[in-house]
Amino acid sequence: MVWEEVLAKFKELFGDEGEIGVYFAPGRVNMIGEHTDYNGGHVFPCALTIGTYGVARKREDKKLRFYSMNFENLGILESSVEGLKPEKEADWTNYPKGVMWAFGEKGMKVEQGMDLVLFGNIPNGSGLSSSASVEVLTGFILRDMFGFDVTNQDLALIGQYSENKFNGVNCGIMDQFAIAMGKKDHAIFLDTATLKYEYAPIKLENAKIVISCSNKKRGLGDSKYNERRSECETALAQIGETIGINTLGDLTEEEFEQYKGAIKDEVCQKRAKHAVYENQRTIKAVEALKNNDVALFGELMNASHVSLRDDYEVTGIELDTLVEEAWKIDGVIGSRMTGAGFGGCTVSIVKNDAVDTFIEKVGAAYQEKIGYAADFYVVEIGDGPVKIK
Question: DSSP readout, 110-169?
Answer: --S-EEEEEEE-SPTTSSS-HHHHHHHHHHHHHHHHH-----HHHHHHHHHHHHHHTS--
* Distance separating alpha carbons of residues 161 and 173, to the nearest angstrom: 9
* Distance separating alpha carbons of residues 39 and 124, to the nearest angstrom: 26
- Would strands 63-68 and 186-191 be described as parallel, antiparallel, or unpaired? unpaired
**Which of the residues 175, 191, 250, 311 is marked catalytic?**
175
Determine whether 61 is an active site residue.
Answer: no
* Distance separating alpha carbons of residues 130 and 135, to the nearest angstrom: 9
Question: DSSP readout, 251-316?
Answer: --HHHHHHHGGG--SHHHHHHHHHHHHHHHHHHHHHHHHHTT-HHHHHHHHHHHHHHHHHTS---H
* Distance separating alpha carbons of residues 147 and 19, to the nearest angstrom: 15
Torsion on CA atoms 179, 382, 325, 213, rounded to nearest 10: 50
Question: DSSP readout, 172-190?
Answer: -SHHHHHHHT-BTTEEEEE
Query: What positions carry a catalytic annotation?
Result: 175
